[in-house]
Amino acid sequence: MRFHPLPSELFIANRQRLLALLPAGAAALVTSNDIMPTNADGTMGFVQNSDLFHLTGIDQEDSVLLIFPSAGDPRLREVLFLRQGNETIALWEGEKLSAERATALSGISQVRWLDEFEVLLRQVLCQCSVLYLNGNEHPRASSVVETRELRLARQLRHDWPLHEFRRLAPLLHQLRIVKQPQELRALSEAISITEAGFRRVLRALRPGMHEFEIEAEFAHEFIRNRARGFAYPPIIASGINACVLHYVTNHQACHEGDMLLLDVAANYANYNADLTRTIPVNGRFTARQRAVYDAVLRVLTECRLMLRPGVLLREYQEEVGALMTSELIGLGLLDRQAVASQDPQRPLYKKYFPHGCSHHLGLDVHDVGATWEPLKAGMVLTIEPGIYIREERLGVRLENNILIGEDRNTDLMASIPIEADEIEALMNAS
């Protein structure tokens, strides 16, 4: 793997926290993701199942974790199954993890090869009272592809119809939503790499460059600093493209006088940063661009104080909407009287700010976390207000990542330039 391994103590502690949530006699299974096909004999790059990585630190395909703390045989209480390498695999794909290396990464002493999985699982199923199975239960998940987890669940329900099966995802979400110190260090490294890419782009951007050239500048800086690559498909959107929320074609030229929206960040050790900045292509804001930019920045600044333990994201979003409404009135985009008589279910600000302002961040860019439960210290969230004015071909979004603290929040991106004056100074430095 490209990144420096995280300490095995993190994954040992994560599994211990999960064991504390399992009832007596229960077992749990977590699998790696599939390698997804493209066309012919092609495949996509492998991305590990976030839950499996959270519990093991293993970043290899064809991996399974079996936990059964009540097992009479101590060797069955915690087992990691891996694909066994051989000379042919080493020739075509490279070396696979050895049992010794897997133990060093995960802290799991019992490492077995996958050809033993069915036999050992049968022993566990004959003893356990309930089996917890995992699945993707993110509220915004949408997939027509049957995952490895769901295939396994379907097979087990068929083969063991008299057993009781339960959902593991709610327990794992509960554990993952509050970040541990080692996780925060990995997130901070992803943010540091993202900052390096942004500063590189501030030096490189010139009118006439194409959006994909800017994407290449980020990619160069990310990969040379041990990132896996982009945390998500990068948005490099100039001019009116910035008004397309998920613009990812990145194929047009950046013109003199336009603004360039950059929603792009690095993934390090499977942890994701999430940065957005909007900068003038020629290095100088016009008066109108600066007015819109400063309005968005004021909202972000206020939001850093609003995200506190006990806050519900639903209620927070309503407060953000009120802040944004005031800014839009100041910019001449909304009429005060029209706002006073608006339908509360269809607030007028959504014409210019149609998306949410914050989401959880971690092993997934839109990380697990129930929006209907109060925030807690130790959670990491984004703050990403934006104003999109299609008739002016102008879109501005700014985004930082915030660690919720007991007494005060920490802006994990505080060192990344965001003030308009600093942006101009860096872009025009000789």
Residues taking part in catalysis: 41, 246, 263, 274, 355, 359, 366, 384, 388, 397, 399
Give yes or no for a contact between 186 and 363, defined as CB atoms under 8 angstroms apart: no
Rounded to whole angstroms, the Cα distance separating 199 from 189 reads 15
**Segment (H or E) for 13:** helix 8-19
**Segment (H or E) for 120:** helix 117-125
Rounded to whole angstroms, the Cα distance separating 244 from 302 reads 25
Structure tokens at 368: 């697990």
**DSSP character string of 363-414:** SSSS----TTS---TT-EEEE--EEEEGGGTEEEE-BEEEE--SSS-EETTT
Rounded to whole angstroms, the Cα distance separating 223 from 229 reads 6
Rounded to whole angstroms, the Cα distance separating 413 from 194 reads 10
Residues β-bridged to residue 278: 261
* Residue in the block written with tokens 């972000």: 300
Give yes or no for a contact between 249 and 175, defined as CB atoms under 8 angstroms apart: no
Residue 272 is given by DSSP the state E
**DSSP character string of 315-348:** HHHHHHHHHHHHHHHHTTSS-HHHHHTS-TTS-G
Give yes or no for a contact between 346 and 325, defined as CB atoms under 8 angstroms apart: no
Single out the residue of 201, 203, 196, 250 nearest to residue 222, CA to CA. Answer: 196
Residues with Cβ within 8 Å of 110's Cβ and at least 6 positions away in sequence, in order, are 75, 76, 77, 78, 79, 80
Neighbours of 372 (CB within 10 A): 8
Sheet with strand 64-67: strands edge to edge: 110-113, 78-82, 64-67, 26-31, 130-133, 165-167
